Amino acid sequence: MASALSDRLSRIVKEMRGQARITESNVTEMMREVRMALLEADVALPVVRDFIARVKEKALGQEVVGSLTPGQAMVGIVNRELAATMGQGVADINLAAQPPAVILMAGLQGAGKTTTTAKLAKHLIEKRKKKVLTVSGDVYRPAAIEQLKTVTAQAGAEWFPSTPDQKPADIARAAIDYARKHYFDVLLVDTAGRLAIDEALMREIQELHTILKPVETLFVVDAMQGQDAVNTAKAFSEALPLTGIVLTKTDGDSRGGAALSVRQVTGAPIKFAGVSEKLDGLEVFDAERHAGRILGMGDIVALVEQVTAGVDMASAQKLAAKVKSGAGFDLNDFLDQIRQMKQMGGLSSLMDKLPGNMGAKATDADLTRAEKDIKRKEGIICSMTLKERTKPEIIKATRKRRIAAGAGVHVQEVNRLLKEFEQMQGMMKKMKGGGMMKMMKKMGG
């Protein structure tokens, strides 16, 4: 796993300590790292070049004195520029048209057009209280028409029937006529996709565009598509006046560089991001969060992987079962947890994976202290009898002194540990069975 950009820049900065300004020579070296990070995130090469040129201009001669190191300042500049590039434009769907407002969905097969059509229908019904009709112009795949019918019903919208023997243009005319007569606010038009760009497909969708005069022409693109996304985006934006982008499958494990490429090539704003296969898995695109993801700042995914790899699954399951059955969390479990933390390679390796600023706040001295603290806690629990570990409330003052002496610590430390344990126990009681896994999943997303 590649290390986060912030780490790499910090390394360069170590070599140029004392410089208060970003200069031509150090910016070139830093830009090499930024370029690598963007390429690793699957941003297309021409887009990377453009972007680097802009950042370089912005960065040169910038004051970086103050609390930030030049490396962090540079990460800040890159991050802001990424977010600004991806974030311009209006966020929500434009419906400013004589009803029905038509939304035309364009994109390759498998990009997520049908799913996104239903997600948008649900969004417009629930958030904007609109009456929504959907129709499929995909006359090549009967299954695609059926799929739209199914997901439209799930979204609570109405579906306009079409069949493979019709022409897409006729379907479009009939659907818009029906929508007008039945007072629909919005007509969502799903279209045929191909596995690759082809002329006939482009002409067909252009014809649909002329007939439908959509207020929104959305380009649906798979975030996992990587470098290819640029060619697809170029072809679609040359054929159609795109008004927005929907980036799907952002829940996958790509770094999402496609967003930057597609935004730059089409000039259209990224309006939504697909975050799951389910119909409520559509979010307004968050450019800042996405910028962080492209740069791999604070590689949380790697952190979670490390945590789950380090955890002894058998004992984690035993613990989960215990919490679930209400048997209670005792000091033996607490000790298990402490030992697992040690197994994970210590705190310092975990801290390295946290986002730049958070990680930077903990100095080496802090970490050594924290690691020593873990060892002392282990010592304290080991000095207790098994009975005391299962029922810590029986530990009286004299025993506390004995335990402290056994572990070579002050009695206050024993008290502190018992208090901490109590808090942890309270937390565990609140957590039902899968709570811990849920927490990790959240961190991963």
Please report, in range form, the residues annotated as the binding site for GTP: 107-114, 190-194, 248-251
Q: How far is the CB of 305 from ligand GDP (least distance, A)?
A: 19
123 versus 389: smaller Cβ distance to ligand GDP: 123
What is the distance between the alpha carbons of residues 73 and 59, in angstroms, rounded to a whole number?
Answer: 9
Kindly list the residues in this chain that would bind ligand GDP in the complex (CB under 6 A).
107, 109-115, 193, 248-249, 251, 274-277, 281
283 versus 288: smaller Cβ distance to ligand GDP: 283
- Quick check: helix, strand or coil at residue 56? helix
Q: How far is the CB of 167 from ligand GDP (least distance, A)?
A: 20
- Which structure tokens are listed for 168? 């897409």
150 versus 368: smaller Cβ distance to ligand GDP: 150
Q: How far is the CB of 186 from ligand GDP (least distance, A)?
A: 18
Beta bridge partners of 132: 186
What is the distance between the alpha carbons of residues 225 and 223, in angstroms, rounded to a whole number?
Answer: 5
Q: How far is the CB of 134 from ligand GDP (least distance, A)?
A: 12
The residue with its CB nearest to ligand GDP is 274
Residue ranges of the annotated binding site are: 107-114, 190-194, 248-251
Asked if residue 225 lies in contact with residue 232, where contact means CB atoms within 8 angstroms, the answer is yes
107 versus 226: smaller Cβ distance to ligand GDP: 107
Q: How far is the CB of 223 from ligand GDP (least distance, A)?
A: 8
What is the distance between the alpha carbons of residues 134 and 406, in angstroms, rounded to a whole number?
Answer: 73
Main-chain dihedrals φ then ψ at residue 434, nearest 5 degrees: -80, 15
Q: How far is the CB of 150 from ligand GDP (least distance, A)?
A: 11
248 versus 306: smaller Cβ distance to ligand GDP: 248
DSSP structure class, residue 108: -
**Beta-carbon count within 10 A of 323 CB:** 21
114 versus 134: smaller Cβ distance to ligand GDP: 114
What is the distance between the alpha carbons of residues 80 and 87, in angstroms, rounded to a whole number?
Answer: 10
Asked if residue 248 lies in contact with residue 223, where contact means CB atoms within 8 angstroms, the answer is yes
- Which structure tokens are listed for 239? 């054929």
Distance from CA of residue 278 to its chain's centroid?
16
Beta bridge partners of 188: 103, 134
